[in-house]
Chains A and B, each alone.
Chain A
Amino acid sequence: MALRLPSKVLKHILSFIDSNEDRNSVSLVCKSWFETERKTRKRVFVGNCYAVTPAAVARRFPAMRSLTLKGKPHFADYNLVPDGWGGYACPWIESMAAKSPYLEEIRLKRMVVTDDCLERIAASFKNFKVLVLTSCEGFSTDGIAAIASTCRNLRVLELRECIVEDLGGDWLSYFPETSTSLVSLDFSCLDSEVKISDLERLVSRSPNLKSLKLNPAVTLDGLVSILRRAPQLTELGTGSFAAELKPEAFTKLSKAFSNCKQLQSLSGLWDVLPEYLPALYSVCPGLTSLNLSYATVRMPDLVELLRRCSKLQKLWVMDLIEDKGLEAVASYCKELRELRVFPSEPDLDATNIPVTEQGLVYVSKGCRKLESVLYFCVQFTNAALITIARKRPNLKCFRLCVIEPFAPDYKTNEPLDKGFKAIAEGCKDLRRLSVSGLLSDKAFKYIGKHAKKVRMLSIAFAGDSDLMLHHLLSGCESLKKLEIRDCPFGDTALLENAAKLETMRSLWMSSCFVSFGACKLLSQKMPRLNVEVIDEHPPKTRPESSPVERIYIYRTVAGPRMDTPEFVWTLHKNPEIGVSKLAIK
């Protein structure tokens, strides 16, 4: 006999559940729980915009106030997905405009957003508050102006690393003349100059502004003037930090910073001249997040800055920090949780990168709370990986990029199998892993055996055979996203583990040995997967056994999509029809 909670009681209980994963589990219990949950879910997350139709989402969640969507596969960040592949925001905006007019927040990642889209958002959602676009493209500053002028309750407008057609800085003047409700504004990815006077006035009439990220066109003088008007900022992205060295300029800058007593996060700092860094010293003790990854500051200056940042939790920096600098981080920044070290010269040829594995070992030893790492260097050793795993079993995200493909342990010339085995075995809470360097199938056997909580795995230039893929698909229980490039495996492992693919969000494989024939078989076998072949050459003109350039496989309840360009083929479920774009019932 089923015990039925009155739906009011259930509703009340569910109001305490924020996590969508938990809510998804709640939905599976029984029909009444499904119904109550769906009617109360306010924040909806769709990890793959092609996994479900906008209409279905709008229908299921009538109380939706916030929508987060992701479009292109992650490897699109590295130019592996040709332009025009898809990920269009418009159908979603259209649908929501019609069915969810109370929508307040839209967050899009790796999607194509047009000016029309932005204008539609501005026009359709009366209480619109939050727009965050990350790695998006397809729109111009005109679209931003539309949002600025029409959304009277706008709190958050953030353009993070988007590719925007920049038609000038006028968009800034479109914000309402009366006081605004802006809490966060990020236009750091725009190129052109905004009028400082416009910016000053905007800041002055935005009393709630806490986060402001300027673009490189804003000079130091501009920055000083802004900081004077917004000393309450908690997050600041500076503009260009280069200017002619004048003593008055330095004093003004120092004073402006020292008045910002609540500053916790600092970024931007493009072209920073080391002579200006001392102006930041006053805010260092309060900083929890510092992004120096666009600052070409070198060692001694970096250490002077970092040794004052005792509360730092997140540090993004370029490899100019060198091992010595990381040693300093290890001793001064004891609260560090996240470290990212980017290559200052991201060429394949640049093998004189100044950080080695030792730098990461220092930080792993010294920073007890370290849980997230992204590290680029030339080469690595098993010993270093083993040390890192032993010292930091609490790692949740470990992304190591050994720039030299197939680079073995440079001291022993062995593959890095043992090292990654230690990571997989030792870091039991690992959720995200990127591997690199010379790796044999054994490495993947270890990962499959131990990395039970890994949800996202990225692999390049690794493995020996099909076994590699087989180990991963059959072993990694929590795997949701797998992306692979340039690995020598093919059809067998893929077809044998087809069922696994329906438990994952997506699988990307490029420059591997998967044949067109296998793709077709997979598609027939698994009706709820879209098997997309992304290839410059039409697959039909080649023998079925020849490898395809890229495949992108994702689970979906929406059927094959209708917006594929000419170089993408969604394989039809019915083998007689072959490749087609018809929807399937």
Chain B
Amino acid sequence: MDEFINLKETELRLGLPGTENVCEEKETVSCCNNSNKRALPSGSENETESSTRKTETSPPRKAQIVGWPPVRSYRIKNNIQTKKNETDHEVQGSYVKVSMDGAPYLRKIDPSCYKGYSELLKALEVMFKFSVGEYFEREGYKGSDFVPTYEDKDGDWMLVGDVPWEMFLCTCKRLRIMKGSEAKGLGCGV
């Protein structure tokens, strides 16, 4: 059986098949913090992005993983059709998803329910139990580790508060409350 126990051959490595490029950041599972996620080994046809490789400047979306969640494509196809029909029936209100870094689940709000930024931000603060700091036109939000951002129609991540409220209502697709070092690039106070 000795020939099977060849340490090099069975060495656990991450990296695309065919490359010697070894990603040294193999994280061990820590039981304490659920954001310590192991990088997904890439190997499926559609690119899956390791959550440890943060190469883009904009916040990375959750990786698109092929075949996950495990729902038959037949059912997904039908769901899409159903959703299309649903939006035909939908009366009014455009809910957007709100995520906060570190929070286990997303929320949904209708920004048009609020009269302006201060109401919106207050509502978010209550929802996620954080405080947002003070907004400055040039420097962004100061005084907090949390920065509210939103994704606009072009797919770019913007700082909440820069554009007039009406414009924001039209272009906001989703909200994300960034935390910590990631938020630095957008002018958050230390």
Min distance, Cβ B165 to any Cβ of chain A, angstroms: 25
Interface contact B79-A346, CB-CB below 8 Å: yes
Q: Determine the chain B residues whose CB is within 8 A of the CB of A161 once the complex forms.
A: 72, 74
Interface string of A386-417 (1 = CB under 8 A from B): 00000000000000010111111010011100
Instruction: State which of A116-124, A249-257, A359-367, A489-497 sits at the interface with chain B.
Output: A489-497
Q: Determine the chain A residues whose CB is within 8 A of the CB of B73 once the complex forms.
A: 77-79
Interface contact B9-A517, CB-CB below 8 Å: yes
A352-B97, A485-B67 given as contacts; is B31 within 8 A of A414 (CB)?
Answer: yes
Residue from B68, B71, B75, B76 within 8 A of A460 (CB atoms): B68
Q: Determine the chain A residues whose CB is within 8 A of the CB of B24 once the complex forms.
A: none
Interface contact B29-A379, CB-CB below 8 Å: no
Q: Determine the chain B residues whose CB is within 8 A of the CB of A546 once the complex forms.
A: 17-19
Please report the C-alpha to C-alpha distance between residue A224 and residue B51 in the assembled complex, in whole angstroms: 53
Q: Determine the chain A residues whose CB is within 8 A of the CB of B68 once the complex forms.
A: 78, 348, 403, 405, 460
A343-B71, A346-B71 given as contacts; is B4 within 8 A of A405 (CB)?
Answer: no
Interface contact A413-B67, CB-CB below 8 Å: no
Is A518 part of the binding interface, using a Cβ–Cβ cutoff of 8 Å?
A: yes
Residue from B17, B32, B71, B97 within 8 A of A78 (CB atoms): B71
Instruction: State which of A59-67, A228-236, A330-338, A534-542 sits at the interface with chain B.
Output: A534-542
Q: Determine the chain B residues whose CB is within 8 A of the CB of A464 once the complex forms.
A: 28-29
Is B137 part of the binding interface, using a Cβ–Cβ cutoff of 8 Å?
A: no
Interface contact B44-A82, CB-CB below 8 Å: no
Min distance, Cβ A97 to any Cβ of chain B, angstroms: 30
Interface contact B82-A294, CB-CB below 8 Å: yes
User: Which residue of chain B has the shortest Cβ distance to A492 in the bound complex?
Assistant: B10
Is B153 part of the binding interface, using a Cβ–Cβ cutoff of 8 Å?
A: no
Q: Determine the chain B residues whose CB is within 8 A of the CB of A511 once the complex forms.
A: 40-44
Min distance, Cβ A311 to any Cβ of chain B, angstroms: 26
Interface contact B9-A486, CB-CB below 8 Å: no
A406-B38, A465-B12, A488-B38 given as contacts; is B4 within 8 A of A79 (CB)?
Answer: no
Is B57 part of the binding interface, using a Cβ–Cβ cutoff of 8 Å?
A: no
Interface contact B18-A466, CB-CB below 8 Å: no
User: Which residue of chain A has the shortest Cβ distance to B26 in the bound complex?
Assistant: A488
A410-B104, A511-B40 given as contacts; is B4 within 8 A of A495 (CB)?
Answer: yes
Instruction: State which of B105-113, B141-149, B182-190 sits at the interface with chain A.
Output: B105-113
Interface contact A379-B41, CB-CB below 8 Å: no
Chain B's interface: helix, strand, loop or mixed, by majority? loop
Interface size class of B (residues with CB under 8 A): 35 or more
Q: Determine the chain A residues whose CB is within 8 A of the CB of B10 once the complex forms.
A: 466, 490-492, 515, 518
Q: Determine the chain A residues whose CB is within 8 A of the CB of B42 once the complex forms.
A: 511
Min distance, Cβ A95 to any Cβ of chain B, angstroms: 29
Instruction: State which of B58-66, B124-132, B154-162 sits at the interface with chain A.
Output: B58-66
Interface contact B4-A513, CB-CB below 8 Å: no
Please report the C-alpha to C-alpha distance between residue A212 and residue B38 in the assembled complex, in whole angstroms: 48
Residue from A189, A413, A414 within 8 A of B74 (CB atoms): A189
Is B5 part of the binding interface, using a Cβ–Cβ cutoff of 8 Å?
A: yes
Contact residues of B with A, CB < 8 Å? 1, 3-5, 8-13, 17-20, 28-29, 31-34, 37-38, 40-45, 61-76, 78-79, 82-83, 85-86, 89, 97, 99, 104-108
Q: What are 24 A-B contacts defined by CB distance under 8 Å?
A: A78-B68, A135-B74, A189-B74, A294-B75, A296-B86, A342-B75, A345-B83, A346-B71, A346-B76, A346-B79, A350-B106, A352-B105, A405-B40, A405-B68, A407-B104, A415-B31, A488-B12, A492-B4, A495-B4, A496-B1, A510-B43, A510-B44, A535-B17, A547-B43
Q: Which 4 A-B pairs have the closest CB atoms?
A: A78-B67, A346-B71, A511-B43, A161-B74
Q: A80-B67, A189-B74, A491-B4 are in contact. List 10 more A-B contacts (CB 8 A).
A: A296-B86, A343-B69, A344-B79, A346-B71, A348-B69, A414-B31, A460-B70, A521-B3, A546-B19, A547-B17
Contact residues of A with B, CB < 8 Å? 75, 77-80, 82, 135, 161, 163, 189, 242, 270-271, 273, 293-294, 296, 342-346, 348-352, 376, 378-379, 401, 403-408, 410, 413-415, 438, 440, 458, 460-461, 464-466, 485-486, 488-492, 495-496, 510-513, 515, 517-518, 521, 535-537, 541-550
